[in-house]
């Protein structure tokens, strides 16, 4: 018998009597008076930055000036300016030099500062991780109070990959001292469009 | 009992300031967990949901696994099954050989520690670079991780500095964590960009979707998995959960219980390989199906490896992870390891005061201290323990196991609450409600005896 059959047989033999799944009553989970403020407070407590903007003008200008100054940026947001489709074909070796990644998020979560990003919003799966500085853009109306609501809004299996990112990469592996910028982005700024 | 926890613990506590530091640091992490948990009014409800979802998973595991395999395969993931550590290692080795791969990066996976994958590959001339900062530090030092979430928690920054000076040529004596982390970042980014194979663990695998979730703060799992042309994810079969919606319950519990963070920085949901990428998933038994059949201990398979039980445990905090001489230390390790090898790990269920603090913090409500107590009965009944040890059936065995440990614990306990973490007077702690809080004596009997003998 194969390992698979052996394992499945042993499990079927040893597993206890069927226990029911609980009903997750989302209505009983936390709500915030002001989800945006909660989102901002939590993100800033974990090393992120949050800016409320009325439209994309500031970001458009930032992107133009980055490019004018010869910074290596990858923009994946159509409404901001030219999209760097070529990022799909760049190697990790090349992407390692990306100064800034501009990426659109789908949902923001007030309770933990996380932003959901689909693979299609990154162009290349590496972009939000490998860039030195991450710029995320979400709409204020897409900030939900908690993770249960976030999972209701997204479809995790819609694409090949998706991620919740909460702030910049960090570690506390040396004597529990928090250091921002472990392997991933050294900073994460989340622009929230009002 | 070949190596005894108590003997190894004595070595650890020989350096008293370091022991105190270890103790206090982990207690600090435990306090952060409390703060995060108390920030959610529905915390107890969440634990209950987490526990019930895992109960359901274990009760229908064979079906869920089949469902998962079917969906994952349809997603383009190659699913493998391994009965034990040896088979797991051979599967990984075969994939490496097939591609003639040289450059391998691995993010944290307690399963691969349990299977001793690195050693297995090393014997076959293959080097694996551990990329979690803590794991890289201990790998340089040829030590095992001492904690499942904080692998290098037994080390001071001076130790890390000396290690990095030797291996990464950092400035001698520069102990700045920022500087040392930056050196590791540069070193590991070079490893990532040239990697041909990335090995990761799995935090949750979802039967409904055939996808899996990996959580890190550093981003190392993603840096490897999205670079390398081949990705192998390794999981014990108990990592399964039924539905994607259940991820909300577990991701809310996991980081809060582990480090007090509201969520890990990265919670990555893998469903399909990238185009031209090969994605493998190895599902491992290695004693788990046997544990599932042990009625008293099957609950241990609900564990989501948050390490809250480590951080709160007065014995773990004062004896260090290495004294447990196994890949998974701490209270939960002391339940899992006797199942794998009862003789070699017969000492572990005795490395506990049975205070119950672990059970109180466990996000999936595993009755940890009760299981430790039950293992003691089994181990004694099977004849794996000396008669002199039988006193410890009643609890506090670790404290009584060596005069030095007893004195050290006692001294601290009289002054500081944190040696009795189970005495936490909050309304959520129902355990406390039914019990009397013991009065801590001003002097220990020993102090009293020494004082009074002189008169
Ligand atoms: S037994 Fe519970 S507290 Fe301990 S690591 Fe597992 S889930 Fe966390």
Instruction: Write down all domains in chain B, each with its CATH number in brackets.
Output: 40-286 (3.40.50.10420), 390-452 (no CATH)
Least confident of B286-290, B313-317, B417-421: B417-421
Question: Cα separation of A162 and A166, whole Å?
Answer: 13
- pLDDT tens digits, B54-65: 999 999 999 999
Beta bridge partners of B169: none
Buried residues in B139-158 as b, exposed as e (16+ CB within 10 A): bbbebbbbbbbbbbbbbbbe
Whether B445 has a pLDDT exceeding 90, the answer reads no
What would the two tokens of residue B38 be? Answer: 């108390």
In a domain, A24, yes or no: no
* pLDDT band, very low/low/confident/very high, at B417 (cuts 50, 70, 90): very low
* pLDDT band, very low/low/confident/very high, at B402 (cuts 50, 70, 90): low
Q: Do A112 and B263 touch (CB under 8 A)?
A: yes
What is the structure's pLDDT at B96?
A: 97
Q: How far is the CA of B232 from the centre of ligand 1 (A)?
A: 25
What is the structure's pLDDT at B396?
A: 55
Contacts of A5 (CB under 8 A, 6+ apart): none
Q: Name the residue of B297, B303, B321, B337 to mutate for ligand 1: max ligand atoms within 8 A of Cβ.
A: B303
- pLDDT tens digits, B172-195: 999 999 999 999 999 999 999 999
Distance of residue B453 Cα from the nearest chain A Cα, in angstroms: 43
In a domain, A16, yes or no: no
Count: domains in chain A: 1
What is the structure's pLDDT at B440?
A: 45
Contacts of A90 in chain B (CB under 8 A): none
Q: Name the residue of B330, B368, B369 to mutate for ligand 1: max ligand atoms within 8 A of Cβ.
A: B368
Give me the residues of A, 136-155, that contact B with CB < 8 A: 146-148, 150-152
Whether the CB-CB separation of A161 and A106 falls below 8 Å is answered with: no
Counting residues of chain B whose pLDDT is more than 90, the rounded percentage is 80
Instruction: Tell me what the pLDDT averaged over chain B comes to.
Output: 88
Of B137, B194, B210, Cβ closest to residue A173: B137
- Mean pLDDT of the B140-158 span: 96
Q: How far is the CA of B47 from the centre of ligand 1 (A)?
A: 12
| Ligand 1 atom 2: residue of nearest CA | B362
In a domain, A9, yes or no: no
What is the structure's pLDDT at B4?
A: 84
Question: Cα separation of B97 and B90, whole Å?
Answer: 10
What is the structure's pLDDT at B394?
A: 52
Of A92, A151, A169, Cβ closest to residue B193: A92
Q: Do B268 and A22 touch (CB under 8 A)?
A: no
The candidate with the shortest Cα–Cα distance to B259, out of B354, B147, B163, B387, is: B147
The candidate with the shortest Cα–Cα distance to B132, out of B193, B179, B177, B192, is: B192
Task: Using DSSP bridges, classify how beta strands B204-206 and B240-241 pair: parallel, antiparallel or unpaired.
Answer: parallel
In a domain, A55, yes or no: yes
- pLDDT tens digits, B202-249: 999 999 999 999 999 999 999 999 999 999 999 999 999 999 999 999
Residues having CB within 6 Å of any atom of ligand 1: B 257, 303-309, 332, 361-364, 366, 368
Task: Give residue B306's Cα distance to chain centre.
Answer: 7
Task: Find tokens 């935090």 and name the residue.
Answer: B203
In a domain, A80, yes or no: yes
What would the two tokens of residue B251 be? Answer: 């991701």
In a domain, A158, yes or no: yes
Q: Do A148 and B58 touch (CB under 8 A)?
A: no
| Ligand 1 atom 3: residue of nearest CA | B362
Q: Inform me whether the C-beta atom of residue A46 falls under 8 Å from chain B C-beta atoms.
A: yes
Q: How far is the CA of B6 from the centre of ligand 1 (A)?
A: 22
What is the structure's pLDDT at B384?
A: 87
Distance of residue A148 Cα from the nearest chain B Cα, in angstroms: 5
Where chain A has pLDDT below 70, the residues are none
SS in 3 state form for chain B? CCCCHHHHHHHHHCCHHHHHHHHHHHHHHHHHHHHHHHCCCCHHHHHHHHHHHHHHHHHCHHHHHHHHHHHHHHCCEEEEEECCHHHHHHHHHHHHHHHCCCCEEECCCHHHHHCCHHHHHHCCCCCEEECCHHHHHHHHCCCCCCCCCCCCCCCCHHHHHHHHHHHHCCCCCCCCHHHHHHHHHHHHHHHHHCCCEEEECCCEEECCCCEEEEEECCCHHHHHHCCCCEEEEEEEHHHEECCCCHHHHHHHHHHHHHCCCCCCCEEEEECCCCCCCEEEEEEECCCHHHHHHCCCCHHHHHCCCCCHHHHHCHHHHHHCHHHHCCCCCHHHHHHHHHHHCCCCCCCHHHCCCCCCHHHHHCCCCCCHHHHHHHHHHHHHHCCCCCHHHHHHHHCCHHHHCCHHHHHHHHHHHHHCHHHCCCCCCCCCCHHHHCCCCCCCCCCCHHHHHHHHHHC
What is the structure's pLDDT at B413?
A: 45
Contacts of A16 in chain B (CB under 8 A): 58-59, 295, 298
| Ligand 1 atom 7: residue of nearest CA | B303
What is the structure's pLDDT at B434?
A: 37
Give me the residues of A, 66-95, that contact B with CB < 8 A: 91-93
**B22: nearest CA in chain A?**
A175
- Mean pLDDT of the B306-330 span: 94
Whether B124 has a pLDDT exceeding 80, the answer reads yes
Of A10, A13, A30, Cβ closest to residue B40: A30
For residue A173, what is the domain's CATH number?
3.40.50.10420
| Element housing A27 (H / E) | none
The candidate with the shortest Cα–Cα distance to B146, out of B26, B288, B3, B2, is: B26
What is the structure's pLDDT at B415?
A: 42
| Ligand 1 atom 8: residue of nearest CA | B306
Q: Do B262 and A11 touch (CB under 8 A)?
A: no
* pLDDT band, very low/low/confident/very high, at B358 (cuts 50, 70, 90): very high
In a domain, A146, yes or no: yes
What is the structure's pLDDT at A1?
A: 73
Q: How far is the CA of B425 from the centre of ligand 1 (A)?
A: 22
Question: Cα separation of A125 and A135, whole Å?
Answer: 15
* Boundaries of domain holding A103: 33-193
What is the structure's pLDDT at A70?
A: 96
In a domain, A28, yes or no: no
Q: Is the dihedral of CA A48, A52, A55, A57 positive or negative?
A: negative
* pLDDT band, very low/low/confident/very high, at B444 (cuts 50, 70, 90): low
Distance of residue B416 Cα from the nearest chain A Cα, in angstroms: 22
What is the structure's pLDDT at B436?
A: 37
- pLDDT tens digits, B70-115: 999 999 999 999 999 999 999 999 999 999 999 999 999 999 999 9
């Amino acid at each position: 018998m194969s390992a698979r059959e052996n394992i499945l047989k042993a499990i079927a033999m040893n597993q206890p009597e069927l226990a029911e799944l609980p009903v997750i009553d989302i209505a009983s989970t936390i709500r915030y008076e002001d989800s945006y403020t909660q989102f901002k407070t939590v993100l800033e407590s974990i090393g992120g930055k949050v800016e409320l903007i009325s439209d994309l003008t500031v970001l458009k200008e930032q992107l133009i000036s980055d490019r004018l100054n010869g910074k290596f940026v990858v923009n994946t947001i159509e409404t901001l300016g030219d999209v760097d489709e070529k990022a799909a074909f760049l190697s990790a070796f090349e992407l390692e030099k990306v100064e800034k990644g501009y990426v659109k998020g789908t949902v923001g979560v007030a309770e933990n500062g996380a932003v959901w990003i689909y693979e299609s919003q990154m162009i290349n799966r590496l972009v939000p991780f490998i860039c030195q500085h991450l710029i995320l853009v979400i709409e204020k109306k897409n900030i939900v109070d908690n993770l249960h609501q976030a999972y209701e809004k997204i479809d995790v299996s819609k694409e090949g990959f998706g991620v919740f990112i909460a702030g910049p990469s960090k570690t506390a592996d040396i004597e529990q001292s928090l250091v921002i910028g472990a392997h991933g982005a050294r900073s994460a700024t989340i622009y929230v469009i009002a | 009992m070949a190596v005894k926890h108590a003997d190894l613990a004595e070595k650890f506590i020989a350096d008293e300031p370091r022991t105190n530091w270890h103790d206090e640091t982990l207690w600090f992490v435990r306090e952060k967990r409390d703060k995060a948990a108390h920030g959610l009014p529905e915390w107890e409800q969440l634990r209950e949901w987490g526990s019930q979802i895992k109960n359901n998973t274990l009760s229908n595991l064979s079906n869920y696994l089949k469902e998962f395999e079917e969906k994952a395969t349809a997603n383009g993931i190659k699913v493998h099954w391994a009965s034990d550590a040896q088979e797991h290692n051979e599967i990984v080795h075969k994939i490496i050989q097939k591609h003639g791969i040289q450059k391998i990066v691995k993010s944290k996976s307690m399963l691969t520690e349990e299977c001793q994958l690195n050693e297995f590959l090393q014997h076959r001339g293959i080097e694996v670079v551990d990329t979690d900062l803590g794991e890289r530090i201990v790998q340089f030092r040829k030590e095992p991780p001492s904690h499942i979430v904080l692998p290098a928690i037994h080390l001071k920054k001076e130790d890390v500095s000396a290690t990095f000076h030797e291996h990464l040529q950092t400035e001698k004596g520069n102990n700045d964590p920022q500087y040392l982390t930056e050196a590791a970042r540069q070193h590991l980014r070079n490893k990532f960009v040239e990697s041909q194979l990335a090995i990761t663990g799995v935090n949750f695998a979802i039967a409904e979707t055939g996808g899996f979730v990996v959580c890190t703060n550093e981003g190392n799992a993603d840096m490897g998995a999205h670079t390398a042309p081949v990705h192998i994810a390794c999981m014990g079969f108990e990592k399964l959960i039924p539905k994607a919606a259940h991820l909300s319950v577990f991701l809310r519990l996991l980081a809060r219980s582990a480090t007090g963070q509201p969520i890990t920085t990265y919670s990555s949901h893998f469903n399909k390989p990238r185009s031209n990428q090969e994605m493998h998933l190895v599902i491992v038994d290695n004693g788990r199906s046997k544990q599932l059949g042990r009625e008293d201990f099957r609950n241990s398979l609900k564990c989501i490896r948050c390490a809250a039980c480590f951080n709160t445990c007065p014995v773990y905090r004062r004896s260090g992870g290495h004294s447990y001489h196994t890949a998974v230390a701490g209270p939960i390790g002391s339940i899992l390891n006797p199942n794998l090898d009862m003789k070699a790990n017969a000492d572990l269920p005795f490395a506990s005061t049975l205070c119950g603090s672990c059970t109180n913090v466990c996000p999936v409500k595993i009755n940890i201290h009760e299981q430790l107590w039950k293992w003691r009965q089994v181990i004694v009944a099977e004849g794996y323990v000396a008669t002199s040890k039988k006193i410890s059936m009643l609890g506090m065995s670790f404290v009584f196991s060596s005069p030095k440990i007893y004195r050290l614990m006692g001294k601290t306990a009289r002054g500081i609450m944190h040696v009795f973490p189970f005495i936490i007077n909050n309304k959520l702690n129902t355990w406390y409600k039914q019990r009397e809080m013991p009065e801590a004596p001003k002097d220990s009997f020993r102090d009293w005896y020494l004082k009074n003998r002189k008169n």
